[in-house]
């Protein structure tokens, strides 16, 4: 009999889904008309869970899965999983660490460039026919140069480092903040986030969200100032969204490039009216290459756990 797996989020790579189906009986909760009934019927036989980084899994759901042997997160953020509970149950919680670094860093750069150079706003200007109606050069305000900007990285993990390397290629000096200075990098450490914001033309948020809710607040945004840009490719709740919306509306910061939001798929509607904002739909890891590599890691973690081995990428065991 094939082991039963509960999948909380779709995986968009057909070859990964085919292999999952060949190896396991997969209950795709997001396809069930009555999720609660599905858990009541199959909960006792579920041995593995696959979930996304943003979705995670509630403790209440884990408690309904007594035979659970692994939570395989198809992502690197484990902030939506109760890791203490998993540890107490000796339950491996795995992630796809390292698989999405380059793509997330690429999207951070895309958001920075797009926001500073008004790429999306000007695209809308051309598509709407506005360029023909307003051909005079003054119809489009001058943009902001990216090359050479002072960039502040919030969270110098894998993604933060990959972003720093990329902006260095644009001639941007980099400073960073984190819980502590990293001895193996040459970038300057700034322990105070507000000071980092003051010293930066762009702040790029790459931090893990476990203990840093509301890190970017009105005071940090004011320190960044009216010429400053914010990019967030980490988690929405690292930023106080209401403070950010106010700062953007009042032009107390210059612009923002955002891939993540507190209440996805809902982005604050007030942002939709603002041309100094570039919005994405939590897409940073969404390439064929990365999602395939992530799916491979999920398959490997499931195989290890269900064979009674400690999964290589377990955080909790
Ligand atoms: C993924 C993420 O999009 O890795 C994470 O923590 O939030 C994202 O990169 C997501 O996990 C895909 O399911």
The string of pLDDT tens digits covering residues 197-207 is 999 999 999 99
Would you place residue 283 in the very low, low, confident or very high pLDDT band (cuts 50, 70, 90)?
Answer: very high
Q: Whose CA is nearest to atom 1 of ligand 1?
A: 75
Atom of ligand 1 nearest to the CA of 282: 3
The tokens 């700062």 sit on which residue?
Answer: 247
Catalytic choice (47, 54, 235, 313): 235
As a whole-number percent, the residues of the chain with pLDDT over 70 amount to 100
Nearest alpha-carbon partner for 54 in 224, 249, 252, 208 = 208
* Spatial distance between the Cα atoms of 125 and 128, rounded to a whole number of angstroms: 6
**Ligand 1-lining residues (CB < 6 angstroms):** 9, 52-54, 74-77, 100, 282, 284-285
Distance 116 CA to ligand 1 centre (A): 25
**Mean pLDDT of the region 157-183:** 98
264 is catalytic: yes
The tens digit of pLDDT for each residue in 88-144 reads 999 999 999 999 999 999 999 999 999 999 999 999 999 999 999 999 999 999 999
Superfamily covering domain 101-279: NAD(P)-binding Rossmann-like Domain (3.40.50.720)
Residue 211 has pLDDT above 80, yes or no: no
Catalytic choice (89, 198, 264, 283): 264
Residue 162 has pLDDT above 80, yes or no: yes
* Spatial distance between the Cα atoms of 137 and 140, rounded to a whole number of angstroms: 6
Strands in 25-28's sheet, in edge-to-edge order, are 25-28, 4-7, 46-52, 70-74, 93-94
Strands in 229-232's sheet, in edge-to-edge order, are 188-189, 174-177, 151-154, 202-205, 229-232, 255-258, 277-279
Q: Whose CA is nearest to atom 4 of ligand 1?
A: 75
Atom of ligand 1 nearest to the CA of 291: 12
Identify the DSSP state of 137: G
309 is catalytic: no
pTM of the shown model: 0.96
Residue 212 has pLDDT above 90, yes or no: no
Give the CATH number of domain 4-99+289-306; options: 1.10.10.10, 3.30.70.20, 3.40.50.720, 3.10.520.10.
3.40.50.720
Distance 164 CA to ligand 1 centre (A): 21
- List the beta bridge partners of residue 57: 81
The predicted pLDDT at position 210 comes to 81
- The end-to-end CA distance of the chain, in Å, is 27
134 is catalytic: no
The predicted pLDDT at position 68 comes to 98
**Same fold yes or no, 4-99+289-306 and 101-279:** yes
Distance 52 CA to ligand 1 centre (A): 6
Q: Where exactly are the structural domains of the chain?
A: 4-99+289-306, 101-279
**Mean pLDDT of the region 270-298:** 97
Task: Compute the mean pLDDT over every residue in the chain, rounded to the nearest whole number.
Answer: 97
Handedness of CA 25, 28, 33, 36 (dihedral sign): positive
Residue 209 has pLDDT above 90, yes or no: no
* Spatial distance between the Cα atoms of 20 and 224, rounded to a whole number of angstroms: 46
Residue 11 has pLDDT above 80, yes or no: yes
């Amino acid at each position: 009999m094939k082991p039963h797996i509960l999948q909380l989020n779709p995986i968009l790579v057909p070859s990964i889904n085919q292999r999952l189906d060949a190896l396991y009986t997969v209950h795709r909760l997001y396809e069930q008309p009555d999720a609660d009934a599905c858990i009541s019927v199959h909960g006792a036989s579920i041995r593995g869970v696959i979930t996304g980084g943003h979705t995670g899994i509630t403790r209440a759901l884990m408690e309904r899965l007594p035979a659970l042997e692994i939570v395989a997160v198809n992502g690197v953020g484990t902030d939506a999983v109760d890791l203490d509970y998993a540890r107490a149950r000796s339950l491996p919680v795995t992630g796809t660490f390292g698989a999405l670094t380059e793509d997330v860093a690429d999207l951070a750069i895309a958001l920075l460039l797009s926001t500073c150079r008004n790429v999306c706003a000007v695209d809308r200007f051309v598509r709407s026919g506005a360029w023909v109606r307003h051909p005079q050069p003054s119809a489009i305000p001058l943009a902001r140069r990216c090359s050479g900007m002072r960039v502040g990285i919030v969270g110098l993990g894998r993604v933060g480092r990959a972003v720093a390397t990329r902006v260095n290629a644009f001639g941007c000096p980099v400073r960073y903040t984190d819980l502590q200075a990293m001895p193996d990098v040459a970038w300057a450490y700034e322990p105070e986030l507000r000071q980092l914001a003051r010293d930066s033309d762009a702040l790029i948020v790459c931090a893990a969200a476990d203990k840093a809710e509301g890190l970017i607040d009105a005071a940090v945004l004011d320190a960044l100032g009216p010429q400053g840009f914010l990019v967030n490719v980490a988690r929405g709740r690292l930023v106080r969204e209401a403070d950010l919306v106010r700062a953007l509306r009042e032009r107390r910061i210059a612009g923002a490039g955002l891939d993540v939001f507190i209440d996805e798929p809902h982005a604050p509607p007030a942002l939709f009216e603002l041309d100094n904002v570039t919005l994405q739909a939590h897409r940073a890891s969404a390439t064929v290459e990365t999602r395939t590599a992530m799916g491979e890691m999920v398959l490997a973690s499931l195989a290890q756990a269900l064979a009674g081995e400690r999964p290589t990428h377990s955080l909790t065991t």
